[in-house]
């Protein structure tokens, strides 16, 4: 049974698999599911194998042969199991990166890809025990790394990050990085540090990046989004701030306050226009929770 909301306004949420944790230790059940299981295959760069039309390449367990043991069990979609496989040795017309897939695949397939990509990254980056340096052996269908040298256990890592629409009551604070196209702007984001609440992270990150004072008590949670680029979870907020003049540090090229009308026009504009010449700000693509928190702020403004 799928979990999660029926439809979200951003990618990697809708159609999530039933992760069926109990099956991870049930080798016999997974073996029985394997022949009819769906398989998403990723190359070493984290791209999914795709068919000639750019869709998810149709592979099942019987096509791959062997058994499920070398592959990571992702979960169930209805009665069908899904696994992650390494792409070497599997031919395909093309490979597709996660952003491209999110723009054209059905929502559940993009969510499947996001889960698979995050797990692939964890496996590749955590091959050795952080306690003793011994090699890890992956068990529980790929969800637990066990060190046979010191018996330490290692679980998939997710890095929490906040992303926040900061307002002085009438304007929205946006920033831009130097590497972005000239007209691209977005809301402020940053990673949670040890011993910190999410509200404290909101205030600290906004101050560090823009010099704007945010009252942590004003931070209001909106939604979250898995962000497997490569292994983050974005936690969306709205927060109130003093109407100070922004002062950027090393992370941003610029930060500015924008009016309701400027933000409304930015959301109405084709999000890919930043790659072309033109006027007015361009805001994040629909796949990102950044656009969701901006829209939530705009929806909360008084009607003209």
Over range 248-276, report the average pLDDT: 92
pLDDT at 3 exceeding the cut of 70: no
pLDDT at 5 exceeding the cut of 50: no
Helix (H, G, I), strand (E, B) or coil at 101: helix
CA distances from 244 to 163, 173, 223, 240 (A): 20, 10, 27, 12
pLDDT tens by residue, 81-91: 999 999 988 88
Residue 2 vs residue 267, higher pLDDT: 267
pLDDT at 29 exceeding the cut of 60: yes
Percentage above 90 pLDDT, the chain: 89
Over range 162-179, report the average pLDDT: 97
Helix (H, G, I), strand (E, B) or coil at 294: helix
Q: Which residue has the tokens 């998810």?
A: 56
Predicted confidence at residue 73, as pLDDT, reads: 98
pLDDT tens by residue, 216-251: 999 999 999 999 999 999 999 999 999 999 999 899
Q: Please, which pLDDT band fits residue 304 given cuts at 50, 70 and 90?
A: low
Predicted confidence at residue 8, as pLDDT, reads: 66
Helices (H), the chain: 27-33, 61-64, 98-104, 107-125, 198-210, 260-268, 289-299
Over range 20-43, report the average pLDDT: 97
CA 74 to chain centre: 16
Token digits of residue 23: 């099956």
Helix (H, G, I), strand (E, B) or coil at 164: strand
Angstrom distance (rounded) from CA 189 to CA 94: 33
Angstrom distance (rounded) from CA 203 to CA 257: 17
pLDDT tens by residue, 194-216: 999 999 999 999 999 999 999 99
Over range 53-65, report the average pLDDT: 95
pLDDT tens by residue, 114-143: 999 999 999 999 999 999 999 999 999 999
């Amino acid at each position: 049974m799928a979990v999660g909301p029926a439809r979200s306004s951003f990618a990697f949420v809708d159609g999530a698999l039933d992760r069926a944790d109990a099956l991870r230790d049930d080798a016999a059940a997974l073996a029985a599911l394997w022949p009819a299981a769906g398989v998403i295959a990723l190359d070493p760069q984290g791209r999914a194998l795709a068919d000639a039309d750019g869709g998810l390449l149709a592979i099942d367990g019987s096509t791959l042969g062997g058994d499920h043991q070398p592959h990571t069990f992702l979960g169930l979609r209805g009665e069908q199991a899904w696994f992650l496989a390494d792409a070497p040795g599997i031919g395909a017309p093309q490979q597709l990166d996660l952003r491209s897939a999110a723009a054209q695949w059905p929502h559940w397939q993009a969510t499947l890809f996001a889960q698979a990509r995050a797990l692939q990254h964890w496996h590749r980056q955590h091959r050795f025990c952080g306690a003793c340096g011994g090699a890890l052996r992956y068990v529980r269908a790929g969800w637990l790394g066990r060190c046979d040298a010191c018996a330490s256990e290692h679980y998939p890592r997710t890095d929490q990050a906040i992303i926040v629409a900061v307002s002085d009551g009438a304007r929205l604070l946006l920033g831009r990085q130097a590497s972005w196209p000239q007209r691209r702007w977005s809301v402020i984001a940053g990673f949670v540090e040890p011993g910190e609440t999410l509200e404290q992270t909101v205030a600290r990150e906004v101050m560090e990046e823009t010099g704007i004072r945010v009252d942590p008590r004003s931070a209001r949670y909106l939604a979250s989004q898995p962000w497997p680029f490569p292994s983050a979870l974005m936690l969306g907020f709205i927060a109130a701030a003093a109407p100070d003049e922004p002062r950027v540090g090393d992370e941003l090229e610029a930060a500015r306050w924008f009016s309701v009308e400027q933000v409304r026009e930015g959301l109405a504009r084709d999000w890919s226009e930043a790659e072309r010449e033109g006027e007015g700000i361009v805001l994040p693509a629909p796949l990102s929770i950044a656009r969701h928190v901006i829209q939530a702020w705009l929806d909360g403004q008084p009607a003209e």
